[in-house]
Copies of this chain bind each other. A is one copy, B any other.
Amino acid sequence: MKFGTGIGIVISCLGVAMGATMEGTNVMVVINVPAILIVLVGTLGATIAACGLESHIRVPKLFMKAFMPEDLNLVARVNQLVGFADQARRDGLLALDEAVKGIDDPFTRKGIQLVVDGTDPDLVAAVLDAENDAMRKRHAAARNPFMQAGALAPTMGIVGTVFGLVNVMNNLNNPSSLGPLIAAAFLATLMGVGSANVVFLPMANRLKELSEAELHFREMTLEGILAIQAGDNPRVVEEKLMAYVPPKDRPTEADKQASAAAAKQAA
């Protein structure tokens, strides 16, 4: 899941640039200040109008997140939760109190803390569900500027091109200038469609997929925490949680025996 977005944008730009160069166009023409002003500044203003200033401050962080997404290790999390289930079954839920401090993930830590505090199971589920729901909404709001930009940029490109063509039509009596003027008018369309296709829409989709993966991860964690609180058999907890793991990532019987052997040897 790593580096995909950055690599993809580079591949896409290279493909377009090489193709255009082979056709005989100087790719540098796209760096056309009027087109940039109309399309990129015009789109930026419209997305600020649509989503507020605040959500634009997070944009650089979102690029970072999409370019270098966190690795969500489902199997490690299952093992961690099965470990807690094991410990809770042997020594009681209070025995997890010490483990809580060692948990890196704030969501898991909050959940286990609630369990250790003896909170009612329905309330644990309600609080963690509310956390997930609020995260889902936050993520949706955060990627909305990219979705808006993806929808608006191509039509801002048309605005730029039509402005250019209006200019062309008012200069019909000077035929030799028409070609370059029309070419310049088209650059706004290029800028609009290109930025939407290569940056805005892929970013919006990527952030959506990362958000869904994180929610899936958290749903599994929530399921595990509730199972720990219910005092389920660790083997049952593992069975339950492994359903969330893609079959190809699930440890085989051989893996399990090897890791058990390694654990024994280490002990």
Query: Is there an interface contact between A22 and B33, defined as CB atoms closer than 8 Å?
Result: yes
Query: Is there an interface contact between B51 and A4, defined as CB atoms closer than 8 Å?
Result: yes
Contacts of A202 in B (CB 8 A): 46-47, 49-50, 148
Closest to A66 in B: B49
Interface residues of A in 85-117 (CB under 8 A from B): 106, 114
Query: Is there an interface contact between A44 and B11, defined as CB atoms closer than 8 Å?
Result: yes
A178 at interface by CB-CB < 8 Å = yes
A73 at interface by CB-CB < 8 Å = no
The interface bits of chain A over 187-231 (1 if a CB of B lies within 8 angstroms of the residue's CB, else 0) are 111100110111101110110010010001000000100000000
Q: How far is the CA of A152 from the CA of B205 in the complex (A)?
A: 12
Query: Is there an interface contact between B179 and A162, defined as CB atoms closer than 8 Å?
Result: no
Residues of chain A touching chain B, judged by Cβ–Cβ distance below 8 Å, are 1-16, 18-20, 22-25, 29, 33-54, 106, 114, 119, 123, 126-128, 130-131, 134, 137-138, 141, 144, 148, 151-152, 154-156, 158-160, 162-167, 169-173, 176, 178-180, 182-190, 193-194, 196-199, 201-203, 205-206, 209, 212, 216, 223, 236, 239-240, 243-247
**Min C-beta distance of A64 to chain B, whole Å:** 14
Q: How far is the CA of A11 from the CA of B37 in the complex (A)?
A: 10
Query: Is there an interface contact between A184 and B38, defined as CB atoms closer than 8 Å?
Result: no
Known contacts: A18-B37, A154-B155. The answer to whether A46 contacts B247 by CB under 8 A is no
Q: How far is the CA of A181 from the CA of B258 in the complex (A)?
A: 64
Q: How far is the CA of A24 from the CA of B7 in the complex (A)?
A: 38
- State the 7 A-B residue pairs at the shortest beta-carbon distance, nearest first: A12-B45, A15-B41, A8-B49, A8-B48, A11-B45, A19-B37, A19-B38
